Amino acid sequence: MGIETSCDETAAAVVADGRRTLASVVASQVALHRKFAGVVPEVASRAHLERILPVVEEVLREAQVRPRDLEAIAVTVRPGLIGSLLVGVSFAKTLALLWGKPLLAVDHLQAHIEACFFSHPFLSPPLVALVVSGGHTSLYLLRERTEPVLLGATTDDAAGEAFDKVASILGLGYPGGPAIEQAARGADPRAIPFPRTLLGEDSLDFSFSGIKTAVLYFCFGQNASALDRKSLSAEAEAQVAAGFQEAVVDVLVEKCRRALAQTGLSRLAVSGGVAANSRLRQRLVETADREPWTVAIPPKELCTDNAVMVAALGYELLRRGEVATLEVVASAEADR
Ligand code: KG4
Ligand code: ZN
């Protein structure tokens, strides 16, 4: 069983043999955070506390397994909101102790990558992985399945964070990714040429804060803030959404292309919440058709936060004998 509480989804899943999902439950807190246009850590921790027991009970019921049937308990221990992580980690430790099961300490970013192996059973290292989410935009080299080496990361906002902030500028609501995707539908993505920040010629790092400011200035002029938003026509709003989305997608695709060229590898794996974006998925597949590499992207529900990826990585850790002790601690920071 996997347990995930690193941000604003309380999730549990039961996976068999590291391959099959027996049940997956995701209790989203979107409704609670919407009025703040972002995740409020204190609100998130309290909601996890209320939901964790019902979510675990529900997943066991749906999977039709008893606690004694479980082989181990996997839980996300880092990175994330510390108050949120502590709820899942304390709960998982309690279950491991109570039921006498091994505890597996899962890194959330590695779990996102593991979702690619889970959905594409024939995928194998070496490969380049892009994790593109609300908190991270990072490229990794994987020579070993569970040992990602960082190639590049964002120097400011994560891509998902930029989606959320631009959606907030446009008044499209929270979470911003799906709202931008929806608003952009049917609009010309090249009508407004927002900047593509590629940093140095060989750089594998990312920067998304400039494009966010460019959207703000484009919409409301140099001296405006998102607070004194004027209303845009529906057509202009759609073009801004489409232009922004296209610029972010261009950057993400170009950085993947660079990483593959620089490492000489021929396999790319992409996951994290932003990998649920249809335009990004389409552009990655089209690019892979032209380039000498292939791309693996999990189905959308395995890209956004879920516990299947946690259980799947847990299975891999168990197979390798990498069992945690009850002393394991939650950590807000990524360790790579
Ligand atoms: O992986 P995830 O669920 O949580 C983190 O680990 O951060 O990613 C959440 C992020 C949010 O910023 C959300 O706006 C973005 O993923 N996202 C999307 C889409 N669905 C979720 N961004 C663009 N297009 C989408 N369809
Ligand atoms: Zn995530």
| pLDDT at 78 (0 to 100) | 97
Beta bridge partners of 29: none
Is 133's C-beta closer than 6 angstroms to any atom of ligand 1? Answer: yes
Burial bucket for residue 71 (CB in 10 Å: 0-12, 13-18, 19+): middle
Residue 333 lies in a domain: no
Residue 332 lies in a domain: no
Is 277's C-beta closer than 6 angstroms to any atom of ligand 1? Answer: yes
Q: Which helix (H) or strand (E) holds 294?
A: strand 294-296
How many angstroms separate the alpha carbon of residue 321 from the centre of ligand 1?
32
Residues 269 and 309 in one domain: no
| pLDDT at 174 (0 to 100) | 86
Residue 325 lies in a domain: no
What confidence tens digit (pLDDT) does each residue in 236-247 have? 999 999 999 999
Residues 286 and 308 in one domain: no
Beta bridge partners of 295: 268
Is 7's C-beta closer than 6 angstroms to any atom of ligand 1? Answer: yes
Residue 331 lies in a domain: no
Q: Which residues does 85 contact at the CB level (< 8 Å), separation at least 6?
A: 5, 6, 76, 77, 78, 330, 331, 332
The mean pLDDT of 318-334, rounded to a whole number, is: 95
What confidence tens digit (pLDDT) does each residue in 122-150 have? 999 999 999 999 999 999 999 999 899 99
- Which CATH number covers residue 153? 3.30.420.40
What confidence tens digit (pLDDT) does each residue in 8-50 have? 999 999 999 999 999 999 999 988 998 888 889 999 999 999 9
| pLDDT at 14 (0 to 100) | 98
Asked if pLDDT for residue 227 goes beyond 70, the answer is: no
With the most atoms of ligand 1 within 8 angstroms of its CB, the residue from 109, 116, 274 to mutate is: 274
Average pLDDT, the chain: 95
Burial bucket for residue 115 (CB in 10 Å: 0-12, 13-18, 19+): buried
Q: What is the DSSP string of 38-91?
A: S--HHHHHHHHHHHHHHHHHHHHHHHT--GGG---EEEEEESS-HHHHHHHHHH
| pLDDT at 219 (0 to 100) | 87
The confidence band for 230, taking pLDDT boundaries of 50, 70 and 90, is: low
Asked if pLDDT for residue 111 goes beyond 90, the answer is: yes
Range of the domain at 147: 125-297
Tokens of 57: 């009970």
How many angstroms separate the alpha carbon of residue 306 from the centre of ligand 2?
8
Residues 106 and 196 in one domain: no
Q: What is the dihedral of CA 276, 278, 280, 282, to 10 degrees?
A: 130
Burial bucket for residue 283 (CB in 10 Å: 0-12, 13-18, 19+): middle
Residues 23 and 41 in one domain: yes
What confidence tens digit (pLDDT) does each residue in 263-316 have? 999 999 999 999 999 999 999 999 999 999 999 999 999 999 999 999 999 999
Residue 243 lies in a domain: yes
Residues 199 and 229 in one domain: yes
Residue 137 lies in a domain: yes
Residue 119 lies in a domain: no
Residues 145 and 255 in one domain: yes
- For residue 162, give the amino acid letter: A
Entry pTM: 0.96
Pairing of strands 137-144, 147-153: antiparallel
- Under a CB-based contact definition with an 8 Å cutoff, are residues 58 and 11 in contact? no
With the most atoms of ligand 1 within 8 angstroms of its CB, the residue from 304, 305, 309 to mutate is: 304
Residues 312 and 244 in one domain: no
Residues 90 and 129 in one domain: no
In the chain, the percentage of residues whose pLDDT exceeds 70 is 97
Placement of tokens 């999730």 in the chain: 11
Q: In degrees rounded to 5, what are phi and psi of residue 193?
A: -85, 85
User: Rg (Cα) of the chain, in Å, rounded?
Assistant: 20
| pLDDT at 245 (0 to 100) | 98
Asked if pLDDT for residue 180 goes beyond 90, the answer is: yes
Residues 71 and 220 in one domain: no
Residues 224 and 274 in one domain: yes
Work out how many domains the chain is built from and give that number.
Answer: 2
- Relative orientation angle of helices 159-169 and 209-220, to the nearest 10 degrees: 10
Is 29's C-beta closer than 6 angstroms to any atom of ligand 1? Answer: no
Give the angle subtended at the CA of 296 by the CAs of 293 and 300, to the nearest 5°: 150
Asked if pLDDT for residue 217 goes beyond 80, the answer is: yes
Residue 120 lies in a domain: no
Asked if pLDDT for residue 92 goes beyond 80, the answer is: yes
Residues 28 and 130 in one domain: no
Asked if pLDDT for residue 336 goes beyond 80, the answer is: no
Residues 195 and 291 in one domain: yes
Is 298's C-beta closer than 6 angstroms to any atom of ligand 1? Answer: no
Is 304's C-beta closer than 6 angstroms to any atom of ligand 1? Answer: yes
Asked if pLDDT for residue 335 goes beyond 80, the answer is: no
Ligand 1 atom index nearest CA of 159 = 12
Q: In degrees rounded to 5, what are phi and psi of residue 218?
A: -60, -40
How many angstroms separate the alpha carbon of residue 176 from the centre of ligand 2?
15
Q: How many CB atoms lie within 10 A of CB 97?
A: 12
**What's the first-to-final CA gap in the chain, in angstroms?**
25
The confidence band for 222, taking pLDDT boundaries of 50, 70 and 90, is: confident
Beta bridge partners of 306: none
336 vs 304: which has the higher pLDDT: 304
Q: How many CB atoms lie within 10 A of CB 157?
A: 20
Is 175's C-beta closer than 6 angstroms to any atom of ligand 1? Answer: yes
| pLDDT at 177 (0 to 100) | 97
Asked if pLDDT for residue 195 goes beyond 90, the answer is: yes
Q: In degrees rounded to 5, what are phi and psi of residue 222?
A: -60, -30
Q: In degrees rounded to 5, what are phi and psi of residue 78?
A: -170, 165
